[in-house]
A and B are shown apart, each in its own frame.
Chain A
């Protein structure tokens, strides 16, 4: 009995930090409609600043000064981000906003490394709360009790702010109806900046509060963001009380889940999220979004290059190895593999209208599927390459079933959570998947060992991917999918099963990503959990963004640009920031992507 009580208290204590970060994210989303990927960075900055303050002033009064100072610094950084970047992209589609905030994550990682170094830091216990109390005979850290109290206190203070102040009224008005708030003469620019500062400050405070409990590291930004996404989605985007409920629910599930499934606690959280979302698609306390989606224009997402351009490209690709050196050949193989990955995402996002933040799951399942078959069963390359798309299809079929029940950012965040599950499984199932050490020694069959033959293998796979995705876009299947995206109620009233159409599209996109993943593992000879992680998913989004989402070929242009940029920037220490900078520039200056700049594309005429 006492043990379970203690476990429940641990859960409540973990909930508080999560709640603060999630409340900030939810608040920002409610008013600005931006899903802020960089929220984890603000949390990380809060934690590092708290460490610095403690170092400067000593444990007393350092720790108690650290909490407000960390909140203020994060709020200031948040304000800076809002004014310099987000303000310019509020009207852009969700994907651009997300990728832009991810660019900030990249830059923040470099800056944090430059200021604070790579070594993990361990904070002191909180002065005055370093003791232990006994409840039902179990040892409970005093600091946990402080954390447990911080949740409801923050909730109450936020409630006061929203219920009793003019600022609060404006925030609520803007959350419920942006246009109406604007029509009433609310100064949107100031309100958005203020809300962003408040949300960022909450994240910073959450980071500082974690210092006595956890190590401060450069990876804590992305570690927390997935969990916070789950909480905001479960609680309902834009709802602060919902965030609190969900933080408690998920933290308690984690606290008890660890007793049942110590290896993969995220699965418990995912299962809870899936159940909540199937019953209440907009979360526990959320409501359907009021703002209409950006209406699609002519051909959006379904433009196609004429077949002869593809043939021309194929001819060039076929003769290229005769002119390229080894280094070039390898680079082009990379481009083809990532190009297939990006094209599958373009299909999902363009004709399908579904933005995935977790497409790496299917690329990674393909890669792991192939590698595991070779590693455990000593299978040949042919079997492994055949299994890769099948395994990815199965995963996409499973997760897709849940995802297509939602739309917009809810769908996107659920895809991210799904990818995190697979990632967690790969890192934690040490015996089976090799954990962080991955699986090595997965080399291609002798015949393909030579760079040139592998090049032609990759090329033939890429050709298959192009044919399948191009045909899927132009077929009745793709047309009905696009109809479901453009006007779901209309499509449903014509007899189109919208969810089923999207489910099949999700599965197809996953399958092609898995095919790319299978090739990837033989090209590299190894696979690590990185291929399933958030940055890998975002890489695909960046490629689609670089090339433009309107046309399948855009993904190839994007993949080419991405691989070349990465190759160039890799020589510099701050390559992540440089990549982030380029992404920000593209998101702000050329929202149509590079394919939108060219005149390669023409509108297909109906036969």
Chain B
């Protein structure tokens, strides 16, 4: 498989603290790549650099041969990269359907239109079905439990039919059974559409059960890369990361 996304030597500091310090990796077409690491490792900063929310100090991001370093989030989404947020701040004044409809309008570049966009109810139903929100279509976003807000966030990210999806802790704040269900749904979408996914996750079950490959970050740098089994056995990963996860798992 060829590289869909090539990240080279990406770096970002905040007031002298290197949050991301020379990170390089690839995402291949159609793969599910997990980015793991302890809290503060720089995962979210890395995501914010990749989708253009933050400007990198150095390094480059290349999507399918095209350099996208320094592009704005709205330009990057148009090149086929969708994103979900760790803390999903959704459109609280809308219903679930309206929120997805808005995302579709943005994807089809209708946001300056004063006329009603062409009927998208079939596509909306399909997107809601994919993330398991079909029964919540008419509910107000404010009424949704936090797990469903994350599902809605995913449905909105999928509305632009991306080639690559960044998911920042897609199951954070969900109950165990719900997490497994969501990750199964994501895997289903990947298999059907050939979408590539880069996701961060604290839940090791989700990572080991759903990732094709894993990269590990600690203190802003990549410390390991490999298959699920390789990462599971890697002594350095166990030292910096897995030891602490056990602790945070009992917190949850």
Contacts and interface: CB of A to CB of B under 8 A. Distances in A.
Interface string B106-134: 11011111111100000000000000000
A491 B103 CA distance: 8
B93 A300 contact: yes
B223 interface: no
Contacts of A598: none
B15 to A, nearest CB: 13
A493 B93 contact: no
Contacts of B73: 489, 492-493
B113 A494 contact: no
A440 interface: no
Given A477-B112, A480-B102, A493-B53, A296 B117 contact: no
Q: Which of B51, B78, B101, B103 has the most CB of A within 10 A?
A: B103
B142 interface: yes
Interface stretch (B35-43, B58-66, B84-92): B84-92
Give the most central of A471, A474, A490: most B CB within 10 Å.
Answer: A490
B115 A490 contact: no
Interface string A495-514: 11100010010000000000
B119 to A, nearest CB: 8
Interface in A273-314: 295-302
A493 B83 contact: yes
Contact of A296 (B72, B93, B156): B93
Nearest to B84: A493
Interface in A471-497: 471-472, 474-477, 479-480, 482-483, 485-487, 489-497
B74 A479 contact: no
A496 B74 contact: yes
Contacts of B97: 606
B77 A299 contact: no
A477 B113 contact: yes
Nearest to B81: A493
Contacts of B95: 298, 606
Contacts of B53: 489, 492-493
Given A489-B89, A490-B90, A479 B105 contact: yes
A490 B72 contact: no
Contacts of B88: 490
Interface residues of A, number: 34
Contacts of A497: 74, 111
B160 interface: yes
A376 interface: no
A486 B111 contact: no
A493 B77 contact: yes
A472 B114 contact: yes
A487 B73 CA distance: 14
A486 B90 contact: yes
B183 interface: no
A478 to B, nearest CB: 8
B31 to A, nearest CB: 22
Nearest to B72: A492
B96 to A, nearest CB: 10
A50 to B, nearest CB: 46
A473 to B, nearest CB: 10
Given A476-B111, A504-B112, A295 B102 contact: no
Contacts of B236: none
Interface in A419-472: 471-472
B138 interface: yes
Nearest to A485: B93
Given A471-B114, A483-B91, A494-B77, 14 more contacts: A476-B105, A476-B110, A480-B111, A487-B90, A487-B91, A489-B73, A490-B85, A490-B156, A492-B53, A494-B107, A495-B74, A501-B111, A606-B97, A606-B98
| A-B pairs, 6 with minimum CB distance | A480-B111, A476-B105, A298-B140, A487-B89, A494-B106, A486-B91
Interface of B: 51, 53, 72-74, 77-78, 83, 85, 88-95, 97-99, 101-103, 105-107, 109-117, 138, 140-143, 153, 156-157, 159-160
14 contacts: A297-B92, A298-B93, A477-B112, A479-B98, A486-B94, A487-B92, A489-B85, A489-B89, A492-B53, A492-B74, A493-B73, A493-B83, A495-B111, A504-B112
